[in-house]
Each structure stands twice: as structure tokens, then as C-alpha cells.
Amino acid sequence: MDYRDRHVVVTGGTGALGAAVVGALLTAGAVCHVPYVIAAELERFPYRTHPGVKLAADCDLTDEDAVARLFGGAPDVWASIHLAGGFSGGALRDTRKADVMRQLEMNFLTCSLCCRAAVMAMERTNRGGRIVNVASRPALEWRSGAGMVAYTASKAAVAALTVALAEEVAKQDILVNAVAPSILDTPANRQAMPKADYTAWPKVEQVTQTIAFLASSANQVTRGAVVPVYGRS
């Protein structure tokens, strides 16, 4: 997979999965445009001083204008990878409107606005491109979303967006796909679930390989897929 001189937007790039994706893309020669809002995450981001990383500070991905500025600062966008999002559990009886809207904004709205901006940027170059979103296992297996209904619905919306948009832009050689991870093996997830079997969880480096392929020019035919990346879990 050759990303030499290709510009790639990676939202959520300072997180655990995001850092692995950015690292793989940099190794393959990409220029990565990484928005962030949390200063503490940036401090932990190992590529913050890498010459191939272009940081966009205080970039609220729920704000249309902020997203437009992000993509406006990324010339000749080849790929856009949307990892930004958030999780909130809890029974529906305890989930208020504000909680539902927060999940929709963090997961579906950010993805939708970035997909729109990515398509517009790719249309300007008229060279096609690749978009990769992140859904989740409950987005495909709805019954497993019991106890986290708002999160499940927001990620199911990401999956539906992916498939519908893939059909909409296919003739422009813009291939849109998503991955659907189960619980990823990250320090935060280990801390939250200390008794879990970590060995069964997919590693961020493994999921990165799938994302990097889908976003590359090596992917010539795959579109409209929501790819399960469950590992052995």
C-alpha cells in the first residue's frame, strides 16, 4: 500500500486506534491531517512533531464551519478516515434526550459532516478517493446493544450512512466503507474491564491493517462494506 504524497484526514487520530492508523499511514508515505480538541490526548500522541502530520487545533467536528476549515486546509485529499466518536452505556429508561443527542452528535453527526466535506474535496480534484468510517459490532448485531441503546443506534446510523453514500458516489471512484470493531484492546478498555479476556480482543494494529487497505489505492473494488473486525471475541 503506497501512500506517498497522499493527503489523508484522520479524525480521532490522537486516540489509541487513531495513533496506530496515523503511524501506519506515515510509514507508507502519507501526509496526515489530524484534528483534535483534547490537549491531554495530544500530549500522548506520539506523532505530534512528525513532519508528515498537520494538526488542526480545537476542531469541533460537530460544527459545519470547523469541518469545512479542516478539509480546506488539506489539499488534494485522497482519503478520509473517521475514527472520532464516543461511548455511553446505560439502560434506555435512564437515557434522557440529551444523552441520545450527545451520542448522535459524537458518532453519527461528526461522521456525516466529515463524509460530506470529504466528498466535496474529492470532487474538486476529480481523482476519486477513499472514505473509511468506524461503526461497531452492535451496529451489525443489534441485540448485543442491550444496555447501550443510544450508542448502538448512533453506530447503526453510521453503518447505514456508509452503505448509502457508497452507492451515491461510486461512479466518481470514491469508495466508501466502514469497519465494525468489537471491544478493542486498548489501555482504557483494559482498565474499564479488568476481568475480561484481553487475548480475544482485536489489537489496534490489526484493525489498522484493514483500515489502511480500505483507504488505499490498492482497494479497487470494495465499497459499501461494513467489515467486522472482531478478532476472536
pLDDT of residue 185: 84
pLDDT at residue 183 tops 90: no
What gap in Å lies between CA 8 and CA 90, rounded to an integer?
Answer: 35
What gap in Å lies between CA 111 and CA 202, rounded to an integer?
Answer: 23
What average pLDDT score do residues 81-85 get? Answer: 97
pLDDT band at 68; cut points 50, 70, 90? very high
Provide the residue count of the chain.
233
pLDDT band at 233; cut points 50, 70, 90? confident
In-domain check, residue 1: no
pLDDT of residue 189: 86
pLDDT of residue 150: 97
pLDDT band at 1; cut points 50, 70, 90? confident
In-domain check, residue 195: yes
Cell of 178: 466502514
Query: In the chain, how many domains are there?
Result: 1
What gap in Å lies between CA 7 and CA 2, rounded to an integer?
Answer: 12
Check residue 109 and report its DSSP letter: I
pLDDT of residue 188: 86
CB 191 within 8 A of CB 130: no
What gap in Å lies between CA 204 and CA 12, rounded to an integer?
Answer: 13
- Find the domain containing 184 and state its range: 7-229
In-domain check, residue 59: yes
In-domain check, residue 2: no
**Nearest alpha carbon to residue 217 among 173, 163, 167, 178:** 173
What average pLDDT score do residues 143-150 get? Answer: 97
pLDDT at residue 92 tops 90: yes
In-domain check, residue 145: yes
Beta-bridge mates of residue 31? 7
What average pLDDT score do residues 74-90 get? Answer: 95
* pLDDT, the chain, mean: 96
Residues of the chain with pLDDT > 90, as a percent, come to 87
pLDDT of residue 198: 87
Domain of 29, CATH number, reads 3.40.50.720
pLDDT at residue 187 tops 90: no
In-domain check, residue 40: yes
Cell of 146: 442491550
